[in-house]
Amino acid sequence: MLRTRVIPCLQLIDESLVKTVKFDNHGYIGDPKNTVRIFNELEVDELCFLDIRATVQKREPNFKILSEIANECFMPLAYGGGIKNVKTALKILNIGFEKVAINTAAYENPDLINQISEEAGSQSVIVSIDVKKNWLGKYFVYTNDGRNKVKIDPVEYAQEVAEKGAGEILLTSMNNEGTWEGYDLEIIKKVSNEVDIPVIALGGAGNITHIAQAVKEAGASAVGLGSMVVYQKKGMGVLVNFPEKKVLKQELMLRY
């Protein structure tokens, strides 16, 4: 059984580290390079950076800040935001990132998944899927930083990207993101049960119990943490941190 990964998922807007709530109202967190240094000391499993405005603003990734992050970081890195073609993906991997995450581009050009996978291996390709549940309880996939609702079932879409060569799925609940109220266990379970690749659950974690629920109850292979690792507590100030590993091991038992 694979060890459960607990991954800080950090949001960028160009060179600034930020944090949103339900994909809106972002607050400034700090300098990404300084944050990486802290996570180095905390010995986290890996880091994921997502530039949440690159696609919306129709710009390329900020290669300068990504190079600086890669030079500082001691653990595996993933990056998503503004990746539209194989050339850009390979440039990011050559900078020193181990994985690239694609969201809007994966939906608009599904062959891109296979193209990057063929060039760099499926282990380097994360497909990011943002989901939102409406008042009737139906789930929809959204692209373009949560701005565009697309007519595809999230589970079917997850199966399609897996078949196209994705190595992992980053599954984000737009309803829960930044709320500290826990993951959307229902959609995590639905997707995890129907794909054979790792599913990283993201959106809503507020404590260790939420992490354990996503893994043990919903079947997530890994969990992403946002607010929990950049704030002291809900409603309090910025504090870069990470759960104690002995506590994680105790809650996740032998899977951490």
Q: How confident is the model at residue 253 (pLDDT cuts 50, 70, 90)?
A: low
Stated as kind and residue range, the H or E segment containing 119 is helix 111-120
pLDDT of 246: 87
Each residue of 183-199: pLDDT tens digit?
999 999 999 999 999 99
pLDDT of 46: 95
Domains in the chain: boundaries: 5-255
What does the alpha-carbon distance between residue 60 and residue 95 come to, in Å, rounded to a whole number?
Answer: 15
Nearest to 26 by CA among 230, 252, 196, 249: 230
Name the average pLDDT for the chain. 95
Class of domain 5-255: alpha beta
Cα-based distances in Å from 250 to 211, 246, 247, 253, 255? 12, 6, 5, 5, 10
Cα-based distances in Å from 223 to 149, 184, 193? 24, 12, 16
pTM of the predicted model as reported, rounded to 2 decimal places: 0.96
31 catalytic residue (yes or no): no
Structure tokens at 42: 């905390």
**CB 15 within 8 Å of CB 34:** no
Catalytic residue from among 45, 130, 145, 184: 130
Phi, psi of 222 (to 5 degrees): -155, 165
